[in-house]
Amino acid sequence: CSPAGGGPVPVLFCFSVFARPSSVPHGAGYELLIQKFLSLYGDQIDIHRKFVVQLFSEEWSQYVDLPKGFLVSERCKVRLVPLQIQMTTLGNLTPSSTVFFCCDMQERFRPAIKYFGDIISVGQRLLQGARLLGIPVIVTEQYPKGLGSTVQEIDLTGAKLVLPKTKFSMVLPEVEAALAEIPGVRSIVLFGVETHVCIQQTALELVGRGLEVHIVADATSSRSMMDRMFALE
């Protein structure tokens, strides 16, 4: 029964093996349910996981994903289910657990990539910082026979790897082997071109391997600013 006058609605909140009765205001939605779960089970919920809220359906006699736009209007039972995928969280960078990835900053891209001079300048500072902090640097060059080597302004002194590639992602077998040799790698600082192709594909592959990826926006560009904008989003 819906409570008279829009008062509190009884809700059973289930998480793992626990089930705790409580109540929420009439018309409460997803955000309030999440807040209630946190108040009831906050000490047991890993906030670095992704979750889904499910509602017990009498029609199906089982839990179903919370319908879009759901508002609590009557007594119900909900549960919080952690997904198997663990979210990668972005935190402070620590030199001992960080690797810099410099992607395809090559001569043939100079006339085509917007603000190429600016991203070269920022890239120079990033590599200088990496040398000062002892952070390994991995560099790739897309088909260097046709597109040329890394621009002369980028000083690759001390780079751990400089590799040619013919696929978009920087995650080559040699790169994976190099990462495996560095104990405790957690963070990748990624920059270069093009944002919507090689940078995006590299980021997706690294995130899929459980690494956190920091993209340096002012050292990353494309021929089209629209491509760049949507890739960064």
pLDDT recorded at residue 9: 96
pLDDT recorded at residue 73: 94
Digit-by-digit pLDDT tens for the chain (233 residues) are 444 556 899 999 999 889 999 999 999 999 899 999 999 998 888 766 778 899 999 998 899 999 889 999 999 999 998 886 555 567 789 999 999 999 999 999 999 999 999 999 999 999 999 999 999 999 999 999 999 999 999 999 999 999 999 999 999 999 999 999 988 899 999 999 999 999 999 999 998 888 899 999 999 999 999 999 999 99
Assign domain 95-232 one CATH number from 3.50.50.60, 3.40.50.150, 3.40.50.850, 3.40.50.10140: 3.40.50.850
What strands, in cross-sheet order, belong to the sheet with 187-193?
161-165, 137-142, 98-103, 187-193, 212-221
pLDDT recorded at residue 209: 85
Sequence ranges of the domains in the chain: 8-82, 95-232
pLDDT recorded at residue 16: 86
pLDDT recorded at residue 1: 43
Please identify which residue in the block is written with the tokens 């963070």: 187
Q: Which residues contact 58 (CB under 8 A, 6 or more apart)?
A: none
CATH number of this structure's domain 8-82: 3.10.20.90
Neighbours of 25 (CB within 10 A): 12
Annotated catalytic residues are 104, 165, 198
Ordered alpha helix ranges (H), 134-172? 144-147
Contact, 193 vs 216, CB < 8 A? no
What single DSSP character describes residue 111? T
pLDDT recorded at residue 48: 65
Q: Which residues contact 187 (CB under 8 A, 6 or more apart)?
A: 93, 94, 97, 98, 99, 211, 212, 213, 214
